[in-house]
Amino acid sequence: MKKILVIHGPNLKLLGSREVKVYGKVTINDINRALSAIAKSKKVSLEIVQSDHEGGIVELIGKAKAKFDAILINPAAYTHTSVAIRDAISAVDIPTVEVHLSNIYAREEFRHTSLIAPVVMGQVSGFGKMSYILGLEAVISLIK
Ligand code: DQA
């Protein structure tokens, strides 16, 4: 069975109460439940992790090559700042899809740049929980 690592970046465990006008009322548990249901129906396995720590995310990605066939990541604020996460994705060279709940290109200018986008297969941005669902479908189609 193919294995996919799902990484939620910083502050995403606060979804549901965090900036509801931007992110809606969906919680990380709602997202994880939806992803797990898709994984079950498509017969892939998921490991889902949330981390607020850049170094922790870098470590997870660095170890992913041995264990996972693909990565689905919402790097959250690190999208716009982290050369380290970008380099880790580039180094492991396994299919990775980047997702964002909000449309980062319709928000503040500092969010318009993703340091991650050039090293992933593609990006889904702006569809709330559906960004993760579309991202997971894309990841599965890349590895099947
Ligand atoms: C986000 C967008 C980022 O700019 C922001 O820092 C986040 C969440 C999103 O899912 O829309 O924390 O990645």
Domains defined along the chain, listed by start: 2-105+116-137 (3.40.50.9100)
How far does residue 75's CA lie from ligand 1's centre (Å)?
7
The catalytic residue among 53, 78, 80, 100 is 100
pLDDT-above-90 percentage for the chain: 99
**CA atoms of 128 and 141, how far apart (whole Å):** 21
Nearest CA to ligand 1 atom 1: 76
Q: What is the pLDDT of residue 118?
A: 98
pLDDT-above-70 percentage for the chain: 100
Q: What is the pLDDT of residue 38?
A: 98
CA proximity to 28, closest of 15, 17, 41, 38: 15
Catalytic residue flag (residue 80): no
Does the beta carbon of 77 sit less than 6 angstroms from any atom of ligand 1?
yes
**pTM of the prediction?**
0.98
On whether the CB atoms of residues 31 and 136 are closer than 8 A, the answer is no
SS3 of residue 34 by DSSP: helix
Does the beta carbon of 74 sit less than 6 angstroms from any atom of ligand 1?
yes
Catalytic residue flag (residue 23): yes
Q: What is the pLDDT of residue 1?
A: 95
**CA atoms of 112 and 56, how far apart (whole Å):** 25
Query: Is residue 85 very low, low, confident or very high in pLDDT (cuts 50, 70, 90)?
Result: very high
